[in-house]
Structure 1
Amino acid sequence: MSRNRLAISLLFMMNGFFTGSWAPKIPEFAERLNLSEGELGLMILVFGLGSIIAMPATGIFLARFGAARVVKTAAMLFLPMLLVISVVPNIPLAVVALFCFGGLMAAMDVSMNGNTVSVEKSERRAIMSSCHAFWSLGGLFGAGIGGFLIAELGILGHAFTVTVIAAVMLAVSFPKLLQDPPSDEAAAQKIRLPMTPLPWLIGIMALFSMIPEGAVMDWSALYLTGERGVDIAWAGFGFAAFQLTMTTMRFAGDHVRDRFGAVKTLRFCAAMSVTGLLLAGLAPSTVLIIIGFAITGIGISNMIPVAFSAAGNLPGIAPGISLSVTTTLGYSGILVAPSAIGFLAEHTGFSPIFAGLAGLHIIVFLMAPLAHYADQDHAG
């Protein structure tokens, strides 16, 4: 692994590790601030709003200053946020802290993806999928050790330990990071939202790719227990199977894309996901439903990495601007759409929803020719 690739992979892992470390803190956070379930839901929505607002702004900074400078700044500002969240004493300060936490996470995300596109161009090979796999690994690690650290060290001890681990990742990564310059397109034109349809179409492709991902993350356990009568001990197996196959296939995704091209890779992924979602929604047995979620993970694994690489390689558009459009639209599928899915499920149940979400990936399959932009700067 080259030094540039190692550096950006560590940043993805750090971001995922920090995000995953937030999950086991939520119960104590809610108890400390005496939040009801509804109030906690609004707090999590604040986190999502911070993310969505920060993404377009980050694209402008990327175009003007280059991804390396932006990601370093965002990462350093992100580093103390778990400590801040661990000590906020009241709801108004908690709202500010969560908004900043979500915004800085998103700023890091957009700039990491921008630097990954630059590394792909430099090395003339795909690395986006494996970078996203490192994010997933970091998230699993953060969530996995969080409960143990909180039990052994307390809330502040957990936050301090996580912050130190993350700081070590940054210290190793920063000197090896590819120093990509500001975009040539940014110097030649006024930076604004793109008027051409391509980045918006790829953003829609990312949105349709991520809505089912958010649905599986947030609703698969409730679907299994509430509608399929699965014991609570098995409730997490649907998402676990999905996460396992998605992470595994992301490590393989770069090799697949280099071998077969982005268009064929995206079509295969979309077809697999359609199959998995239909099985998860319509299968009569628990085992088949879990298998369906596992197949869905295989499918979704490389859809977003391909979309992000394509967005970062669009001709005549600053990569940071097109990436910010794609990430904003795409991540809204995880941050916003699941709430609407939950409301709809009250009237229809989750079974037809999971089956119906397959339709979004049929559209992605039809939009796959747009993915050829992902190949243009690292073919061969």
Structure 2
Amino acid sequence: MRRRKMSARHQVYVARVGYFLSGFAVACWAPLIPIIKSELQLSTEAISLLVLSFGIGSVSGMTLSGILLQHAGFKFTYALSTTTTAISICLLALMPSYVVVLCALVVFGASLGCLEVAINVFGAYIEKKYHLMLLSVLFAYYSLGEVVGALMMLFLLTIALSPAISILSMIAVIYIACVYYIPVIIDIKSQDKRENRTFVRPVQPVISLAIIVGFTYMVGGAILDWSGLYVTTEADVPLNFASFGYCIVSACMLLCRIYSRPILRILGPYHFTFYGALLMVVGMIIMVVFPNIYVITLGFFAIGCGMSNISPLATSAAGAQNKMPLIPAISFVSICGYIGLLLGPACLGFIASTFSLKGVFIFLAVLTSVSALLLFTTRRDLMAIGPHHSTDNKQVTEAN
């Protein structure tokens, strides 16, 4: 049998499939929550424990991913995390008992967290190795996976297929794609013992970049959790249209990530992210000052377009810097992002109950202003990934 070559193009395919599977798996899990609640006749407290176990598993998996990447390499980590993600989501769909679902959800969260960190590290690695700018487009595959997964789950459940059959039929195709590319993966495993330490103390500019990603994820979580309540309360939007804000932001993020290359060529990574943060601030301020449906819609467009490429480009900069090894740097940035996503709803809930829903978006505007300031302080690191990286697919040439 002829051995497949480890080309740059193959590595990009690996990254695309990995990002797509991550978003796809999350989209498959979300519709299962009400079904599990109904099938197992669970209380709200029991469902809350399930959601908490998913979060705990995710953070644990992200921490574990850094250790596995340093000591076992990317190929093993990728194979393990994709396999356990596929198996655990299928077990969740079977819903045998509450205890089994709880355990499967911890494993699912851990494997998905592990996969997300691993694929971020891999994306940053192939960017650095082949002098490409890929993470913005790769993050679009995550968003695309969420959209496709949600639509397919909606379709399959609508035609009265069981959750188990729906999940199995979709995950099987994606998992086979993952397995197909495992033999041609470039293994990332540092031979430098200093880089293979279990803990590496974070340094600048990685700390600032991690804070930027954490704040950006917090805004994304707020749009998911609070935008519906805000538009129905402040703009008298009917309940059946409450999710329109999240849909607008998600669509803008997907499109801006897919078509980010022309803008990157014109503005460069620093100005793209800095102006994006300012656009987010403007969007949130006008939503608070002019709470009518038309201005709020414009605000959601501004937030989605502005937020779309901040996390990918900040992650690229964290991978390109030389003051901290690649694996612990990307792991730290990813964990901070997820912590922002997890802790955001609780912090914002306190603000909403103490002040008002407008206070939530004012607070987020302040955090985004801090992100803009941090982007300014890390501008050299962001500009460094521009001139030396290509955004053209023609640069994806054969290697090794």
| Same fold, judged at TM 0.5 (above) | yes
Answering whether residue 333 of structure 2 is matched by residue 333 of structure 1, we say no
Pick closer, same or farther for the CA change 1:188–1:246 going to 2, 3 Å.
closer
Q: CA deviation at 1:75?
A: 0.9
8 Å contact 1:114–1:323 — kept in the other structure?
Answer: yes
SS in 1 for 2:352: helix
- Which stretch of structure 1 is more off in the superposition, 299-308 or 93-102? 93-102
Pick closer, same or farther for the CA change 1:258–1:4 going to 2, 3 Å.
farther
Matches of 1:126 and 1:18, distance apart in 2: 25
SS in 1 for 2:102: helix
Matches of 1:170 and 1:140, distance apart in 2: 19
Residue 58 of structure 1 corresponds to which residue in structure 2? 65
Structure 2 stretches lacking a partner, 5+ long: 1-7, 391-400
Answering whether residue 216 of structure 2 is matched by residue 209 of structure 1, we say yes
Same amino acid, percent of matched pairs: 25
Structure 1 stretches lacking a partner, 5+ long: none
Scaled by the length of structure 1, the TM-score of the pair is 0.93
Matches of 2:119 and 2:62, distance apart in 1: 12
Residue 17 of structure 2 corresponds to which residue in structure 1? 10
8 Å contact 1:278–1:358 — kept in the other structure?
Answer: yes
Answering whether residue 175 of structure 2 is matched by residue 167 of structure 1, we say yes
Alignment of 1:1-380 (within 5 A): 2-151=9-158, 152-177=160-185, 179-187=186-194, 190-368=197-375, 369-370=377-378, 372-374=380-382, 376=384, 378-379=388-389
Matches of 2:132 and 2:267, distance apart in 1: 12
What amino acid is the match of 2:389?
A
Q: CA deviation at 1:95?
A: 2.0
Pick closer, same or farther for the CA change 1:263–1:84 going to 2, 3 Å.
same
SS in 2 for 1:312: helix
Over aligned residue pairs, what C-alpha RMSD do you find?
2.1
Pick closer, same or farther for the CA change 1:128–1:15 going to 2, 3 Å.
same
Matches of 1:195 and 1:113, distance apart in 2: 17
Q: CA deviation at 1:313?
A: 2.3
Residue 398 of structure 2 corresponds to which residue in structure 1? none
Pick closer, same or farther for the CA change 1:157–1:118 going to 2, 3 Å.
same
Scaled by the length of structure 2, the TM-score of the pair is 0.88
- Which stretch of structure 1 is more off in the superposition, 179-188 or 330-339? 179-188
Pick closer, same or farther for the CA change 1:186–1:375 going to 2, 3 Å.
farther
Aligned residues: 379
Matches of 1:137 and 1:330, distance apart in 2: 20
SS in 2 for 1:261: helix
What amino acid is the match of 2:60?
I
8 Å contact 1:306–1:371 — kept in the other structure?
Answer: no
8 Å contact 2:203–2:323 — kept in the other structure?
Answer: no
8 Å contact 1:133–1:251 — kept in the other structure?
Answer: yes
SS in 2 for 1:196: coil
Higher helix share: 1
Pick closer, same or farther for the CA change 1:157–1:124 going to 2, 3 Å.
same
8 Å contact 1:227–1:349 — kept in the other structure?
Answer: no
What amino acid is the match of 2:203?
T
Pick closer, same or farther for the CA change 1:120–1:25 going to 2, 3 Å.
same
Q: CA deviation at 1:176?
A: 4.7
Pick closer, same or farther for the CA change 1:65–1:346 going to 2, 3 Å.
same
Q: CA deviation at 1:91?
A: 2.6
